[in-house]
Copies of this chain bind each other. A is one copy, B any other.
Amino acid sequence: MALHQATASAPVNIACIKYWGKRDTKLILPTNSSLSVTLDQDHLRSTTTSRADPSFERDRLWLNGVEEEIKDGGRTATCIAELKRLRREEVEDKQPNEPKLSTYAVHIASYNNFPTAAGLASSASGFAALVSSLAQLYSLPVSPSTLSLIARQGSGSACRSLYGGFVAWDQGSNPTGIDSLAREVAPQSHWPDIHALICVVSDDKKGTSSTSGMQRTVETSELLQHRINHVVPQRLKAIEEAILKKDFDSFAQITMADSNQFHAVALDTEPPIFYLNDVSRAIIALIVEYNRVSVAAGRGRRAAYTYDAGPNAVIYTLKENVKEIVELVVKYFPQREGSFKDVFELFAGVDVAATEGKVVEGFNEAVAKKFEVGAVKGLIHTRVGDGPRALGKEESLLGANGLPKTLKA
């Protein structure tokens, strides 16, 4: 008997124009459009294997080897049901010879290659990989935009992980959500020199979850409405233009302004929500000073920080500046020996000890104090990447018995 199985991987995305607030919490329809950069799956990814089999009794899901309950009417159940419906309507009803996979239960195993402790949201890449693997399993003849409608119902920002490159999530206006989907602004190949440095920041404090936090902002912030109606529409247009023109200075200015404003409306919430801590603030001060020097030298802004619902910084910059920025960050946030994975070989053959302590010419070192080792727990260097990938059988996460190959107790 045939094995009905598919494996896909999907990328993380980090927004430049932030999603914060739902107008429909069930369908996950946002109060404003957003835009993100898809990061390279070579470094950060979720991988998912889905298998349909008549012998399976019910839909089951394992995340990093641990079974997760699929709640009736929950987000995962909604995604699976929608994909089964497409299988039936778009494939089985039209081609009666195709196997009736929509009637079989599925087993799904998913794995993130980045530790949860890194504080990177895995729901976007996770739901994008889930939707991609099932779409592949079901041979669905649909576009990434259509799949993004389904991924959106798993986790809002997951819809943006259905494309590589630079991706907008248009908020749409239809109450059914049919026009609230991802749109590719430009592919990875348009501007491959956009790199990202993720600074993983330690935090004592358990943050407010974004799901509950954003609705509190919708309910209590008086500034959010102004952001939604008057600020974001203009910014989205301006940053799309900056991306198409590869205008890094504008891209950086808008990205930082929107990160600031997202955290501003979080603070304007009752009770207030804080995601940035003293380490986050110090990284902002470094980037502001780095750009001040760069602008003064006529080179424009060369780095952009952005923060999601947590203290980690993501610094976007062009490839040519990454080494300088890593050195700058490490000067203020010393790293444990060997903790930086130099995937682009920035420091290959470089005598690090010799350059230590040097900073950018004209840089005011007093903008931040030097922190102790561990304040920034790790640095991850990556870049803009492609969309979900179909992987071969050899990458399967499910064993012959239909259970994950690496099961955890």
Contact = CB atoms under 8 A, between A and B. Distances in A.
Contacts of A288: 271-272
Interface of A: 204-206, 222-223, 225-227, 230-231, 253, 256-257, 260-261, 263-265, 267-272, 274, 276-278, 281, 284-285, 288, 366, 368-369
Question: Which of A222, A261, A269 counts the most B-chain CB atoms under 10 A from its CB?
Answer: A222
Contacts of A230: 222, 226
Nearest to A203: B278
A84 B288 CA distance: 46
A222 B278 contact: no
A290 to B, nearest CB: 11
Contacts of A270: 253, 256-257, 260
What is the copy number of this chain in the assembly?
2
Nearest to A278: B278
Main SS at interface, chain A:
helix
Contacts of A284: 271-272, 274
A223 B231 CA distance: 9
Given A205-B369, A222-B231, A226-B230, 6 more contacts: A223-B223, A223-B227, A257-B270, A260-B272, A261-B268, A277-B281
12 contacts: A205-B285, A223-B261, A256-B271, A257-B270, A260-B269, A260-B272, A263-B267, A264-B264, A264-B265, A271-B288, A274-B276, A278-B278
A145 B384 CA distance: 61
B274 A223 contact: no
B256 A260 contact: no
Nearest to A229: B226
Contacts of A205: 281, 285, 368-369
Contact of A369 (B204, B223, B272): B204
A380 to B, nearest CB: 24
A267 B272 contact: no
Question: Which of A225, A268, A284 counts the most B-chain CB atoms under 10 A from its CB?
Answer: A268
B260 A267 contact: yes
Contacts of A256: 270-271
Nearest to A227: B223
A403 B285 CA distance: 44
A268 B368 CA distance: 20
Contacts of A278: 277-278
A147 to B, nearest CB: 34
A368 B261 CA distance: 25
A13 B205 CA distance: 33
A106 to B, nearest CB: 39
A288 B260 CA distance: 23
Question: Which of A276, A277, A368 counts the most B-chain CB atoms under 10 A from its CB?
Answer: A276
Contacts of A276: 274
Contacts of A204: 369
A373 to B, nearest CB: 17
Nearest to A284: B272
Chain A to chain B: the 7 pairs with minimum beta-carbon distance, closest first: A226-B226, A264-B264, A264-B268, A271-B288, A264-B267, A260-B272, A223-B223
Contacts of A226: 222-223, 225-226, 230
Nearest to A266: B264
A279 to B, nearest CB: 9
A98 B90 CA distance: 100
Contact of A260 (B260, B268, B369): B268
Nearest to A253: B270
Nearest to A222: B231
Contact of A281 (B223, B263, B274, B366): B274
